[in-house]
Amino acid sequence: MKLLEERIKKDGVVKEGNVLKVDSFLNHQMDIELFEEMAKEWQKLFENKPINKILTIEASGIGIAAIVANVFKVPVVFAKKAQSINLDGEMYTTQIESFTHKKIYNVIVSKKFLNEDDHILIIDDFLANGCALNGLIDIIQQSGGKIEGIGIAIEKGFQKGGNELRKQGYQLESLAIIDSMNASSGEIIFRKTK
Ligand code: 5GP
């Protein structure tokens, strides 16, 4: 998506350790007009899918997913990071390793908000190694719901998550895919998409 690529070029900052900072428009200060354009793009890309729910993970997925939910006119659920897991059977639980914080989180979703009748679009800000998405997929599989697709704002195409998920057959639509980026020059190269 040209608009997002241009914004990344203008305001994104490449950091050491394969980290792209986009906190001026995506995951700290948030440009809601941009999110609306992104949501409309996903609406086109998933127009033939019977999506009735959006799933994301706190914290940085929530802002984008909320705008997407508004465009799709469906509810949005976010998976919560929990200190401890209460094993009373009311929650789906999984574990996710954070790319940015190098920590393992317990993640929960209440069984009240996800079940076998749901047709789910997963939304998140970044895709790197795929740990966050694999955790969300695990939770949906526990619920018996159907994964209709995955929408990602920025995929770092040089990390393994995207390839692995496409191989598994998911419709993964990343609005910007970075093939390479360089912390010393600041250069960012995007993959050519259709
Ligand atoms: P994964 O689980 O795919 O390895 O990493 C995805 C998660 O890590 C995203 O939800 C995002 O919050 C965070 N993340 C991964 N790479 C980056 C990055 O380059 N910049 C920022 N700001 N967050 C990232």
CA distance 192 to 131: 25
Position in ligand 1 atom list of the atom nearest CA 131: 2
SS3 128: coil
In the chain, alpha helices (H):
2-11, 32-45, 61-72, 131-143, 161-167
pTM for the complete prediction? 0.96
Position in ligand 1 atom list of the atom nearest CA 18: 19
Those residues whose C-beta lies under 8 Å from the C-beta of residue 173, and which sit 6 or more positions away, are 42, 45, 46, 149, 150, 151, 152
Tell me which of 103, 126, 137 to substitute to probe ligand 1's pocket, judged by most ligand atoms within 8 Å of the beta carbon.
Answer: 126
pLDDT, tens digit (0-9, with 9 covering 90-100), for 172-192: 999 999 999 999 999 999 999
Question: What residues are in contact with ligand 1 under a 6 Å CB criterion?
Answer: 19-22, 27, 60, 99-100, 124-132, 156, 161
Tell me which of 18, 22, 125, 160 to substitute to probe ligand 1's pocket, judged by most ligand atoms within 8 Å of the beta carbon.
Answer: 125
Reply yes or no on whether the pLDDT at 87 is more than 70. no
SS3 55: strand
The tokens for 139 are 């939770």
pLDDT at res. 57:
97
pLDDT at res. 33:
98
Residue 71 CA to ligand 1 center (angstroms) comes to: 24
